[in-house]
Amino acid sequence: MREQELYTLWKEKAVEDPDLAAELQSIEGDETAITDRFYADMEFGTAGLRGIIGAGTIRMNIYTVRRATQGYANYLNNNFDSPSVAISFDSRIKSDLFAKETAAIFAANGIKVHIFPELEPTPVLSFAVRYFKAKGGVMVTASHNPAKYNGYKAYGPDGCQMTQDAADEVTREIEKVDLFDGITKIPYEDGVQSGMISVIGPEVLEAYLDEVQKQAVNPGIAKDLKVVYTPLNGTGNKPVRAILKRCGLENVTVVPEQELPDGNFPTAPFPNPEIRQSFECALKLAPTVNPDILLATDPDCDRVGIAVHQGDEFILMTGNEVGVMLLNYICSQRIAKGNWPKNPIAVKTIVTSALCFEIAAKYGVELIEVLTGFKFIGEQIGLLEAKNEQERYIFGFEESYGYLAGTYVRDKDAVVASMLICEMAAFYKNQGKTLYEVMQELYAEHGYYLNSVQNIVCEGAAGMAELQSIMEGLRANGPKELAGRKVISAADYELSEETNLATGEKKTIELPKSNVLSYNLEGGAQVIVRPSGTEPKVKIYYTTKGKDRADAQAQTEALQADINHLLGR
């Protein structure tokens, strides 16, 4: 069906949400606007759904959410006897509405629903799936995307985000569902009254916080630390403050403009702790509070960023730097305390700092690399659990500010990370060091590893075509040399194949297939290219190692210039 026909159908049938009806009316006669909303269906992947809120088949709205949920419900009923699900949501626009719509459809399809009464973080949803022994879960969130986005993270019985095989099967079920007439639904209130929808009590969050608290390495050490914290108008406000209080840390100042839930994110249009703009309000507050550290969690509280003292200034630490420091801290302190498992394991993604290999070797830790996506870290925990060896897992992280200590959840967790970061900051403060100084010591010991990310935004129909063109172009004509360095090997994770460019020898990559290209260069540099699984962009990761930051930065800039030339940018 062509875009104009779909538009006409939506004008006739999409009448339940007045916001959608008004939007459809406003774009009448605008072919570009109509095409941009109806050129494709929303794609359901291992990260579920994510897109701009609004009218159309490629937008997040009650109709696309219903269709996806109906497909997910069919999948659960096809594969499990008497399945149940857990549902949570964040502070984003329409998140509570989408959560209730999701619950009503599951209930109408005979699937028991456990739903939180108020917004809760993504890791709490992962915990709830396991707590209730549910067969699936949904977290309504668009994580750290701007306010115009919302999304729908889908989970499997293990508390990990959905596997590719499961997502493919759900997709096949979704494709069978008519958007307007193929949905089985009851009113949400009827589901509650019938008992098919149960509102989760406070005991689940308490049980979660109990498990988080068990991950403390030096309990109570952070009681004298001074912290400025911002939940960025999201879900972290209550659980992060609760866990810090449990650990004796009372001196926490919350950024007032960003304390309460607000899906418009008025003071942080990009609510992402990776970027400095998210810390602006905290930085303005810092001179009056004089904190030791600034913490920021994203709206669904699965990522955390920090800013730390360097002289009179606050410096933002990267996700790689925080992860490396946490790995070093956990290893050194658990060994010192005699709380060290036999044959310990840490896990990182392929785009995360190679400095981890140096840290792991120093402490005798087996370091496992997995594809980008925290579900692959969770999968490694599951493999250990199947052998009753879960105590071997000590830490996992990815460069995009996601960390997890402990096996109680299977997704990144900014609550436990906030606790451990504060503990780590207090530990080194007692030695007269800031975390910035600790990181410089690690660079001095192991070499200056610089990790940088370039984002090529590809929104809309034209952007999707550009994204495909970039990946196809590199596959057809990949680089042989970058910044004067020969490419030693090129890996295509979609083909599960790595090629030695000098000999032509090929070897199999023992990881799941993924749309990722990787180039290893002389001197240890690396370039990895992959479309984001959650945002409309191509991400290019650069890794360099220099004698200092200036040297590593110069190498990175030369690599990026050659990549941009290769891509015609």
Give residue-wise pLDDT tens across range 339-364.
999 999 999 999 999 999 999 999 99
Write phi, then psi, for 303 (nearest 5 degrees).
-125, 145
Strand 485-492 and strand 313-316: the pairing is unpaired
Q: What is the mean pLDDT of residues 148-168?
A: 95
Give the tokens for residue 142.
Answer: 């668009």
Cα–Cα distance measured from residue 289 to residue 232, given in angstroms and rounded to the nearest whole number = 19
Residue 94's pLDDT is 98
- Establish whether 143 is a catalytic residue: yes
Residue 501's pLDDT is 87
Give residue-wise pLDDT tens across range 168-212.
999 999 999 999 999 999 999 999 999 999 999 999 999 999 999
Name the pLDDT band for 139 (thresholds 50, 70, 90).
very high
Range(s) of the chain covered by CATH 3.40.120.10: 3-200, 209-442
Pick the CATH number of 3-200 from 3.40.50.2300, 3.40.50.40, 3.40.120.10, 3.60.20.10: 3.40.120.10
Cα separations in angstroms, 20 against 53, 55, 57: 9, 5, 12
Among 143, 400, 418, 489, the active-site one is 143
Range(s) of the chain covered by CATH 3.30.310.50: 448-566
- Reduce the DSSP state of residue 85 to 3 states and report it: strand
Q: What is the DSSP string of 204-259?
A: HHHHHHHHHHTT-SSTTTTTT--EEEE-TTSTTHHHHHHHHHHTT---EEE-GGGS
Q: What is the mean pLDDT of residues 432-440?
A: 96
Average pLDDT, rounded, for the chain = 94
Cβ atoms of 36 and 71 closer than 8 Å: no
| Residue 86 scores a pLDDT above 90 | yes
Write phi, then psi, for 4 (nearest 5 degrees).
-65, -35
Give the tokens for residue 101.
Answer: 């719509």
Superfamily covering domain 448-566: Alpha-D-phosphohexomutase, C-terminal domain (3.30.310.50)
* Partners of 297 in beta bridges: 304
- Reduce the DSSP state of residue 461 to 3 states and report it: helix
pTM: 0.92
Residue 328's pLDDT is 98
Give residue-wise pLDDT tens across range 444-478.
999 999 998 888 877 776 777 777 888 888 898 88
Cβ atoms of 185 and 90 closer than 8 Å: no
Q: Can you count the helices (H) and strands (E) in the chain?
A: 18, 23
Q: Considering only the top CATH level, what class is 209-442? A: alpha beta
The letter for the amino acid at 160 is C
- Reduce the DSSP state of residue 357 to 3 states and report it: helix
CA 168 to chain centre: 20
∠ CA 236-240-241, nearest 5°, is 115
Name the pLDDT band for 305 (thresholds 50, 70, 90).
very high
CA 212 to chain centre: 19
Give the tokens for residue 220.
Answer: 């109570």
- Positive or negative torsion for Cα 436, 437, 442, 445: positive
